Amino acid sequence: MVLGLFVPFASATTVQQKPLGQSESTLALKAAIAEQERLRQNGPVLDDRLKNLKDDELVDVIVHLSQAPVSLQQGKSELRGQKFSNARANEVRANVKAQQTKVKKAFAAKNVAFDTIYEFDTVLNGFAATVKAGDLPKLLTIEGVTLVEPDATVYASEASETVVSEEQSYDALMNTSNSFLGIERLWNEGLEGQGIKVAVLDTGIDADHPEFAGIYKGGKNFILHSSTYATPRADDDASETLPSERPANVPEFNANGSSFYTSHGTHVAGTIAAIGANDFGIKGIAPKVDLYAYRVLGAYGSGATSGIVKAIETSVVEDMDVINLSLGGGANSETDAGSFAINNAMMAGVISVIATGNSGPNRGTMGTPATARLGIAVGNTTNPETMHAGTVSVTVGDYNYSKKLNLMSTTFGQNLAQQLDGEFEIIAVPGVGSPKDFEGLNVEGKVALIARGELPFVDKIANAKANGAVATIIHNFAGGTGAPGPSNVFLGDSFGFLPTFDMSLTDATEIRSALTAGEGKVTFNNFTTTKTAGDDVNSSSSRGPSTPNFDIKPDVTAPGTNIMSTIPMYKADFPEVSYAEAYDRKTGTSMATPHIAGIAALVKQANPEWNAFDVKVALSNTAKILDTTKYDVFSQGAGRVDAYAAAHPEILAYAQDTAVVDATGAIVENLKGTITFGPRSLDQNLSVTKQVQVKDFTGNGGTYSVEVKTTKTFGDAKVTVDQPTLTVDGEATLNVTLTASAATTKAGDEILGYVVLKNDTTEISLPFAADFAKAAGTEIRNYRLSEKDVSFNGDGIKDSSSLAFTLTGPVTTNFIEIWDIENPTGGEYGDGYIGYLHSGASLAAGSYTLQIGGQYKPWGAAPATTIPDGLYTIDFTGLTPGEVVQAYDGPFIVKTTKPEISAELNGEEVIGQVMDKYIDYNEVLALYGLDYKLNDKLKASYTLSENGEQQAPEAFLLNEDGTFTLPVTETTTALSVTVTDAAGNSQTSLVFERELEEPEPVVTLVAEDEVIKLAPGKSTTFKIFEKTTVGETVTEKDVTNLATYSFTKKNAVAIKNGVLSARGPGETTVTAAYGGQTVTFKVIVTPPGKK
């Protein structure tokens, strides 16, 4: 939710009902209608992230308009059982276009300059554009505008390396999830996705991969060309971002470690549809679909919301059956362009499957567009997996070590015992296993012992492999998780991995000490495996609920941990590349989501008459409920998908609900497989009923037991059903009622569980949830800054941050203020607060994001201005009737100054000092126990010149007081030091320089001709040069007219002005003298006819 702008849609308040009462769905509909009217009365909304910007700043925005778009009108018609013709679609589209034209004319009339990026008429009514921040308030005065929000950046939802706990262990022996999920049973029935159109909205695809032969039908590019890319690309070029597209001035890796070139979309597409063109058993869920790729994420795996919305719209226009969005990045909000677009795509019949994200395991960590009320949000679980262990035996002289260790990684397709058969020399690698650390070491055919730290584990393994190692042992370090024990990290298997053992710091310290005394040998044996049952929820999988409705998300989960799938090889850049091993493992909800997309394709093929909501309910109803003692409904949703059961259900149970679908305020029916009771006050006794419509799909009818399984409750709260046995003949209605007595509640008071319908042949379930904490004390959760080191200087580096948080209940007066750590009694009111970033009269329960672009409002009369350099915390204060809600994050460092570097020569060393605010700030922070390691904030490197030739920069560590010592040699001619701080400010200083000693010049005289022959009376020119040689440099000076001359035979020749004249026959030697140097040449005068 966007801070201060979107007030969560109200749920129905508790009402003293008449005996006959009203159904819960009717009450919810009335509440939604009232909310719609409130939105209309309040007028258009400007997202808080677009406030407090500089007037001349250009911003990308999405402008929403009031007319209903095509997909919404289509969905509403179909829900009423009415046909939505092409003519009607064209009529709606014309009305939308007419409103957009009218609004743009109004822009021009108000002198609002704008550049349109995309126009939307199908899943949204509006357009993406670039405008000046100073013109944003004008947009709100234009009739038809309902919402203006930033065109936010979205990222691929791929998790980082997996950490293994005692409760969970992951491995990668399964090449696909197909057997575990029962996919082969559907294949055996001929269900492989034939005729189903699936679009992957991601980083693109490597269409040259053999796994997509015959099924890839084309794609589109929604990444706009900019200076980030070396060359533009065609609109239908959906290939992955290539290495060759990177300009020389663009880094290969960004600050987050993401590569410029991408691979994510190819991996996702392979999970859905790889045809099995390999010998490893790797195959997609639906290998015969018509596969399309929409490139919405570009370099570094990021893209704009507007491009994603346009791609969703294109999927509707091009009649896609299923779309996969393994991406996210917005706040936990149901009210943004991405979520609205998903809602309307579902209304239009496009099955929309979205990753929840990888910010788990805490509650409420999912983000848009997975928060869309109507979409299918997916969480990440594990397959049945196997971990390897083996005995590692090291001998160094009299020292012996032998212990069973777990393996972090193995080589895909290799037998460990055969691969590590024999005795190997063990080499202790210094540092952290960077390429530089291997210089001067011979690890060819040996085992590398490497320390954890700084570099990712996969990079350490890759560096060892590049230097010829056969295996690695990576040990923990003092600051590592689990130290001094092992790291407990598992990476799985990959073609690029070496066998890598996980060793403790304690054991490695002993071995390294022993190796200082001599050569060590290591052997490996006694390999064992440990198998798990799978069906754990990955701790990184983002959790629900979505806000503000306490909606159960994810809707369903699927395997997404260590998933083997296709990766690109960029044939366009490397024509001779081989795809034989173009497969690798990735982890994240990004990998779980294509499992659901592929299964949705098979379910749709099996049931072609179903709409998107039928598929959604089938996936949820038939899912396997996982261990409820470990994973609640907001971790696993309805459970882990069961593909065969979803394609062939006997019955389905549709929970009746409503939703506000987009910024037009339209209310639609929301049929789903989860029961949302939402936030509920217990100020008085509570009774709320939800209706569930149960449909028979066999035509035979049947009788089913109905059981409520409560996994968590509060007080006397309970969920009951009106029929413990339900007979379904076509359709039947089940009433599910939540009751609870009035009580004082606190955060975390809730009821969770499942309603289960079953008979001898089938079982389906619906999770339910209600939150009783709404009227209790409000808490603020997950309060965090995205960036804590910033420099608001407009250079494009660390120029902004964002603040995200969740309120569990409402607050009235509220502020987000800046507190000065260095002057805690300063500010207008003597409380240390220099001003505020946000102030408001109320905030409802929900998740919020505030963009911090450098502007703040000082307390007092001063106007808004740029936050000055300083050391701060960002504090939230909110009032409720009974308490003050507070939170802070920091230290928040604003710094625009560059480091200062000084140094002097002391013998064969340069002793230097860096002066910087990060050193000063650390002294202050130490008083609060918040001090940091200086080298985390200041990154230093030096560049040497040896004999005048500049060397490559080398990183080095500063002492905590900023001092440093660097060696110089007799051949060192220059030394410069560069220091870049965490806020992006950089300084380079020349701290040492000396001139090269010039060699002594060698001066000689040179005659152009050693012998000159003339006849008497004849003349000729000649040349005498002064030749000066300095090192390898030679210069010559014509000194013919400056030299003096002498002759051994005085009357033979004469010299004047560089001309030599012969007087009489004979031979003479001429000596030229100049500058202390002499040279001789011979002149022979021969009478005519005489040789």
DSSP reduced 3-state for 374: coil
Buried-state track 477-489, b at ≥16 Cβ within 10 A, e below 16:
beebebbeebbbb
Q: Return the active site residues.
A: 202, 264, 590
**Residue whose C-alpha is closest to residue 351's, from 151, 594, 159, 567:** 594
String of DSSP letters for 419-433 = HT-SEEEEEE--TTS
Q: How far apart are CA 855 and CA 800, in angstroms?
A: 10
**Half-sphere CA count of 1002, side-chain side, radius 13 A:** 8
**Residue whose C-alpha is closest to residue 675's, from 710, 628, 640:** 710
E strands, 666-788, where?
667-669, 675-679, 686-696, 702-712, 718-721, 725-728, 731-740, 750-758, 763-771, 780-785
- Facing residues of 1072 across strands? 1045, 1079
Q: How far apart are CA 482 and CA 239, in angstroms?
A: 42
DSSP reduced 3-state for 123: coil
**Half-sphere CA count of 662, side-chain side, radius 13 A:** 33
Q: How far is the CA of 432 from the CAs of 152, 242, 428, 459, in angstroms?
A: 37, 30, 11, 10
Phi, psi angles (nearest 5°) of residue 369: -90, 10
E strands, 772-862, where?
780-785, 789-790, 801-807, 814-820, 833-840, 846-852, 855-858
Q: How far apart are CA 496 and CA 506, in angstroms?
A: 29
Tell the burial category of 19 from Cβ atoms under 10 Å away from its Cβ (0-12, 13-18, 19+).
exposed
Tell the burial category of 657 from Cβ atoms under 10 Å away from its Cβ (0-12, 13-18, 19+).
buried
Element (H, E) at 271: helix 264-273
Element (H, E) at 35: helix 24-42
Q: Which two three-digit tokens encode residue 645?
A: 């059961």
CB 103 within 8 A of CB 145: yes
Phi, psi angles (nearest 5°) of residue 993: -160, 140
Q: Quick one: how far is CA 1051 from the chain centroid?
A: 95
Q: How far is the CA of 209 from the CAs of 74, 267, 286, 512, 857, in angstroms?
A: 38, 11, 17, 45, 55
Q: How far apart are CA 203 and CA 513, in angstroms?
A: 48
**Residue whose C-alpha is closest to residue 689's, from 27, 10, 19:** 27
Phi, psi angles (nearest 5°) of residue 95: -65, -40
Q: Which two three-digit tokens encode residue 872?
A: 């701060």
DSSP reduced 3-state for 34: helix
Buried-state track 727-766, b at ≥16 Cβ within 10 A, e below 16:
ebeeebebebebebeebebebebbbbbbbbbeeeebbbbb
Tell the burial category of 250 from Cβ atoms under 10 Å away from its Cβ (0-12, 13-18, 19+).
middle
